[in-house]
């Protein structure tokens, strides 16, 4: 089977993409330093320990497995950490992506699927957000992802690799078959933290800001099931293999939910109360981020197949019970 080098493949979205690749007949080769990933999630193909900043180790892995493409997930992804320590974020997300691109060029890997982010849009002027919206990040994480996209586009124009930049909105849920799921330590994402509060694994859920210009004062986000994200990654790869051109694509459901709506859904799914504490706004948090998913539907095999918030929460709840409770 043709192989794909998956940087960050032992992480949350990366491990789900590896499962989808294996189901589709590819061999995913996980390249991960396990800083935030988990070895037991790298179960669908060979595992290569390594950091994307380590050029020699990265190139050795490419020489061993001769992948047709790279799926590049490895990154620092926490906005709060990026604001507190921007240089560490740029070192991994920008310098690390440069190392990946240089290795691809030297060793003749001709396709790249890049894990980007809706953070490249910053505070959008209109919602839902199309791919043609202005790219105006408001935090170092968003700038690092935009820098990655720029480098990838320039490398493609100069050297020929084709690419797809997938701009995620909020990944949620877990593998419906229960094999893999979200396991950040510490956990910072809303849905798993709400579930942890419902399970009494943490004292309460922190809500950052209750005074936004939204219907209930809390931030509104577009949540998309991680299995849909994984399927779209495989579709992006196969589109490139079939001659499709380079493109940036939003990955979202096209529907927004506020923090309080998510909490209500968690309480409905679990039958438990989520204790809350409202804190000041965090720097760099836009009030509303909702995707226009039309391009993904047109290019990557249709809209989300698991679009309901309850389904995302239910799969995440079952994973949490299996993993931590």
Residues labelled catalytic = 141
* Contact call for residues 312 and 173 (beta carbons, < 8 A): yes
Tokens standing for 100?
């990946």
Give CATH 3.90.25.10 domain extents, the chain: 190-221+254-323
Phi (first) and psi of residue 115, to 5 degrees: -80, 100
Cβ(37)–Cβ(14) below 8 Å: yes
Give me the CATH topology for the region 190-221+254-323: UDP-galactose 4-epimerase; domain 1 (3.90.25)
**pTM higher than the cut 0.85:** yes
Residue range(s) occupied by CATH 3.40.50.720 in the chain = 3-172+224-251
Helix pair 226-241, 12-23: axis angle to 10 deg? 50
What are the residues whose beta carbons fall under 8 Å from the beta carbon of 88, sequence distance 6 or more?
76, 81
Q: Which CATH number fits domain 3-172+224-251: 3.40.50.970, 3.40.50.300, 3.40.50.720, 3.40.640.10?
A: 3.40.50.720
The secondary structure of the chain in percent helix, strand, coil, rounded to multiples of 5, reads: 40, 20, 40
pLDDT in tens, the chain (325 residues): 899 999 999 999 999 999 999 999 999 999 999 999 999 999 999 999 999 999 999 999 999 999 999 999 999 998 888 989 999 999 999 999 999 999 999 999 999 999 999 999 999 999 999 999 999 999 999 999 999 999 999 999 999 999 999 999 999 999 999 999 998 888 889 999 999 999 999 999 999 999 999 999 999 999 999 999 999 999 999 999 999 999 999 999 999 999 999 999 999 999 999 999 999 998 778 899 999 999 999 999 988 888 899 999 999 999 999 876 4
Nearest to residue 324, comparing CAs of 178, 183, 225?
A: 183
* 254: nearest Cα among 284, 205, 281, 221: 221
Tokens of 284: 């760099």
């Amino acid at each position: 089977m043709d192989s794909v080098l998956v940087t960050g493949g032992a992480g949350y979205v990366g491990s789900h993409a590896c499962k989808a690749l294996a189901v589709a007949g590819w061999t995913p080769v996980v390249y991960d330093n396990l800083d935030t990933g988990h070895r037991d999630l790298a179960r669908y193909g060979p595992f290569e320990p390594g950091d994307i900043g380590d050029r020699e180790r990265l190139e050795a892995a490419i020489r061993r497995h001769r992948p047709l493409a790279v799926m590049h997930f490895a990154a620092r992804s926490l906005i709060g950490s990026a604001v507190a320590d921007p240089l560490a974020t740029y070192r991994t997300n920008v310098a690390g992506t440069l190392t990946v691109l240089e290795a691809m060029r030297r060793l003749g890997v001709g396709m790249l699927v890049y894990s980007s982010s809706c953070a490249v849009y910053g505070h959008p002027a209109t919602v839902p957000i199309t791919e043609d919206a202005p790219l105006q990040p408001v935090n170092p994480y968003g700038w690092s992802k935009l820098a990655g996209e720029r480098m990838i586009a320039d490398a493609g124009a100069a050297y020929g690799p084709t690419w797809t930049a997938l701009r995620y909105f909020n990944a949620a849920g877990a593998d419906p078959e229960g094999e893999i799921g979200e396991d950040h330590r510490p956990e910072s994402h809303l849905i798993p933290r709400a579930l942890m509060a419902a399970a009494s694994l943490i004292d309460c859920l922190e809500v950052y800001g209750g005074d936004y210009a939204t219907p209930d004062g809390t931030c509104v986000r577009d949540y998309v099931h991680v299995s849909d994200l994984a399927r779209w990654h495989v579709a992006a790869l196969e589109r490139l293999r079939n001659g499709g051109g380079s493109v940036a694509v939003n990955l979202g459901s096209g529907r927004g939910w506020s923090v309080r709506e998510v909490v209500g859904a968690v309480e409905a799914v679990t039958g438990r109360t989520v204790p809350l504490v409202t804190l000041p706004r965090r720097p760099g948090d836009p009030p509303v981020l909702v995707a226009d998913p039309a391009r993904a539907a047109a290019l990557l095999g249709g809209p989300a197949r698991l679009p309901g918030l309850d389904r995302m929460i239910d799969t995440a709840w079952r994973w949490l019970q299996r993993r931590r409770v």
